Amino acid sequence: MKPDLFEAPDYYNLDDLLTEEHIMIRDAARAWVKRDVSPIIEQAAQEAKFPKSIIPGLASIGAFGPYIPEEYGGAGLDQISYGLIMQEIERGDSGVRSTASVQSSLVMYPIWKYGTEEQKKKFLPKLASGEFMGSFGLTEPDHGSNPGGMVTRFKDAGDHIILNGAKLWISNSPFCDVAVVWAKDENDRIHGVLVERGMEGFTTPETHNKWSLRASATGELIFQDVKIPKSNILPGRSGLGAPLSCLDSARFGIAWGAIGAAMDCYDTALRYSKERIQFGKPIAGFQLQQKKLAEMITEITKAQLLAWRLGVLREQGKATSAQISMAKRNNVEIAINIAREARQMLGGMGITGEYSIMRHSMNLESVITYEGTHDIHLLITGLDITGENAFS
Ligand SMILES: Cc1cc2nc3c(=O)[nH]c(=O)nc-3n(C[C@H](O)[C@H](O)[C@H](O)COP(=O)(O)OP(=O)(O)OC[C@H]3O[C@@H](n4cnc5c(N)ncnc54)[C@H](O)[C@@H]3O)c2cc1C
C-alpha cells in the first residue's frame, strides 16, 4: 500500500469551531492512525482478520469510552471529541472504527447508564483499557430492522436466569469477553443482560465470506440454556428504548466516522489527479474531474457542519434521535458516493489495494446498512416531520 500522505480538508475553516483540546485530541488520533493503522490495515482486510495488535493503541487515544467518566477508566471527554476520534479512526478504516464504536457506545455506554455500581466497577475500567473487549447483541436472524420482535428470551430461575436464543451480525463477537445482550423476560419486556465468555452454553461462531468490514470480526452469539446470575441484568432501564438509546450514541459516532472515510477518498483522489498525466496534462486539469472533486469537497463540508452542530446539540443534551438519524443517513450516503467517484478518478489503480478507496467503498456498504439501514433512517425522519408511522 502507498505511504499515508493524508492531509485533511477543511474548506470552511471549521477548525475555528473547535477548542484547542479538540484539536489536540484529533491530531493525536490522526497521528496514531498514520503510524499504527495505515501500514497494516490493507493486509488485515485482505486476510479478513481484525488486527488485535492495535487494541492498546485504540485505548491510548481514548477510543474506548471517550465520554465515559475518568473514575470508570474512560477519557471523560465531550461529544465533539468523541466524534473527532471516530472520524480519524474511520479515516483509516471503518472496521476499526466499528470495533471502537461497539466497545464505547454499545457496551460501555449501557453499562455506565443502566448498570449497577458493581457492574460498572467490574467491567468499565477493563473495557476502557482494552483488557476486555465487548459486543452488543440486538439483531437476530429474523429480526433486523424490527428488533422489537426479538425471540431471544430468559426465564427466571431463582437467583439466576436461563437464556436461550441467537443473535446474528454481531461485531466483535468472535473475541468478545462480555456481550451486552438484549432479551425478553417472561412478560415480553426487553432487558440488557451481561453474558460473559466461559458461561456454559454460550458460543460465538465467526461469520466468514464478508466483502465488507473485513478488518472487523463479525459473528453470532448463541445461547443454549445459559445460566446467568441475576446480578448480570442491567437494572437501570428496560424496554426497546434502552438499546435504542445506545444506538443513538453509536449512530452519532458513525455520522462523524463516515466523514473520515470520505475525506480519505477525496484526499487520495485529489493527490492522484494532480500527479496522473493523460493527454499531456494532469487529469486534475479536466473539467469532468474537477466537477467530481468540487462536489466531493462541497458534500464533505456540509457533512462536517451537520456533525459539528449535532455534537453541540448532543453535548447540551438536546439532540433528538431523529436528528441523529438524519446525520447518520446523510453522512454515510455522501461518503459512499464520494468513494465511488474517487475510485473512478483513479482508473484501474482505484480497484487495487495500493490505495484505500476500494476498501472504504466496500466497508461503507456495511456502514449504510448497520445501526439502522439507509431506508429505516429515512422513515425515522418521515415519522418525525409528518407524525405518520410508515414502518408498518
Ligand atoms: C458488518 C455488520 C456488523 C453489524 N454489527 C452489529 C452488531 O454489532 N450488533 C447488532 O445487534 N447488529 C449488528 N449488525 C446488524 C445490522 O444492524 C442489521 O443488519 C440491520 O439493522 C438490518 O437488519 P437486516 O440485515 O436483518 O435487514 P432487514 O431488516 O431484513 O432489511 C432488509 C431491507 O428491508 C428494508 N426494510 C426493513 N423494514 C422496512 C420497512 N418497514 N419499510 C421499508 N423498508 C424496510 C431495509 O431497509 C433493508 O433494505 C451488523 C450488520 C453488519 C452488516
pLDDT digit string (tens) for 322-348? 999 999 999 999 999 999 999 999 999
**Residues comprising the chain, all counted:** 392
Q: Is the CB of 363 under 6 A from ligand 1?
A: no
Q: Judge contact between 193 and 181, C-beta under 8 A.
A: yes
Q: Which residues of 271-298 are buried (b: 16+ CB within 10 A; e: fewer)?
A: bbbeebeeeeeebbeeeebeebbeebbe
At 143, give phi and psi (nearest 5°): -145, 95
Q: Please, what sign has the CA dihedral across residues 11, 370, 213, 114?
A: positive
The overall average pLDDT reported for the chain is 98
Q: Which residues contact 164 (CB under 8 A, 6 or more apart)?
A: 152, 153, 154, 223, 224, 225, 226
pLDDT for 2 beyond 90: no
Q: Which CATH number applies to 241-386?
A: 1.20.140.10
Q: Which residues contact 105 (CB under 8 A, 6 or more apart)?
A: 246, 247, 249, 250, 252, 253
Q: Is the CB of 375 under 6 A from ligand 1?
A: yes
pLDDT for 255 beyond 80: yes
Nearest-atom number in ligand 1 for the CA of 366 is 53
Q: Is the CB of 48 under 6 A from ligand 1?
A: no
Task: Single out the residue of 283, 281, 268 nearest to residue 354, CA to CA.
Answer: 268
Q: Please, what sign has the CA dihedral across residues 128, 311, 328, 110?
A: positive
Which ranges in the chain belong to alpha helices (H)?
A: 20-32, 38-47, 55-60, 79-92, 94-101, 109-114, 117-129, 241-275, 287-315, 321-345, 357-367, 374-386
Q: Please, what sign has the CA dihedral across residues 380, 381, 387, 388?
A: negative
Q: Is the CB of 370 under 6 A from ligand 1?
A: yes
138 Cα–ligand 1 center, Å: 10
216 Cα–ligand 1 center, Å: 17
Q: Which CATH number applies to 14-129?
A: 1.10.540.10
The Cα 306–Cα 371 span in angstroms is 19
Residue among 173, 213, 370 to mutate when testing ligand 1 (max atoms within 8 A of CB): 370
Task: Single out the residue of 72, 71, 117 nearest to residue 231, CA to CA.
Answer: 117
Nearest-atom number in ligand 1 for the CA of 172 is 8
Beta bridge partners of residue 143, listed in sequence order: 140
Instruction: Looking at the structure, give the CATH architecture of the domain made up of residues 134-232.
Output: Beta Barrel (2.40)
The Cα 73–Cα 365 span in angstroms is 33
pLDDT for 1 beyond 80: no
At 125, is the pLDDT very low, low, confident or very high (cuts 50, 70, 90)?
Answer: very high
Nearest-atom number in ligand 1 for the CA of 137 is 11
All CATH 2.40.110.10 domain ranges of the chain, comma separated, are 134-232
Q: Is the CB of 218 under 6 A from ligand 1?
A: yes
pLDDT for 233 beyond 80: yes
The Cα 119–Cα 232 span in angstroms is 8
Three-state DSSP state, 389: coil
Nearest CA to ligand 1 atom 32: 145
Average pLDDT score over residue span 120-146: 98
215 Cα–ligand 1 center, Å: 20
All CATH 1.20.140.10 domain ranges of the chain, comma separated, are 241-386
The Cα 167–Cα 222 span in angstroms is 6
Average pLDDT score over residue span 65-78: 98
Query: What is the share, in percent, of the chain residues with pLDDT greater than 90?
Result: 99
All CATH 1.10.540.10 domain ranges of the chain, comma separated, are 14-129
The label of the residue with cell 446474528 reads 168
Joined grid coordinates for residue 25: 485530541
Nearest CA to ligand 1 atom 37: 145
| Distance of alpha carbon 226 from the chain centroid | 29
The pTM of the full predicted model, rounded to 2 decimals, is 0.98
Q: Is the CB of 32 under 6 A from ligand 1?
A: no
Nearest-atom number in ligand 1 for the CA of 167 is 11
Catalytic residue (choose from 42, 220, 299, 371): 371
Name residue 45's amino acid.
Answer: A
Average pLDDT score over residue span 306-315: 98
Three-state DSSP state, 217: coil
pLDDT for 240 beyond 80: yes
Q: Is the CB of 182 under 6 A from ligand 1?
A: no
13: left (phi over 0), alpha (psi -120 to 50) or beta: left
Residue among 105, 139, 210, 391 to mutate when testing ligand 1 (max atoms within 8 A of CB): 139
Nearest-atom number in ligand 1 for the CA of 213 is 1
Q: Is the CB of 213 under 6 A from ligand 1?
A: yes
255 Cα–ligand 1 center, Å: 17
141 Cα–ligand 1 center, Å: 10
Name residue 203's amino acid.
Answer: T
Catalytic status, residue 371: yes
Segment 143-163, tens digit of pLDDT = 999 999 999 999 999 999 999
Beta bridge partners of residue 170, listed in sequence order: 219
Task: Single out the residue of 177, 170, 179, 256 nearest to residue 210, CA to CA.
Answer: 170
Q: Judge contact between 308 and 14, C-beta under 8 A.
A: yes
Q: Please, what sign has the CA dihedral across residues 67, 175, 119, 141?
A: positive
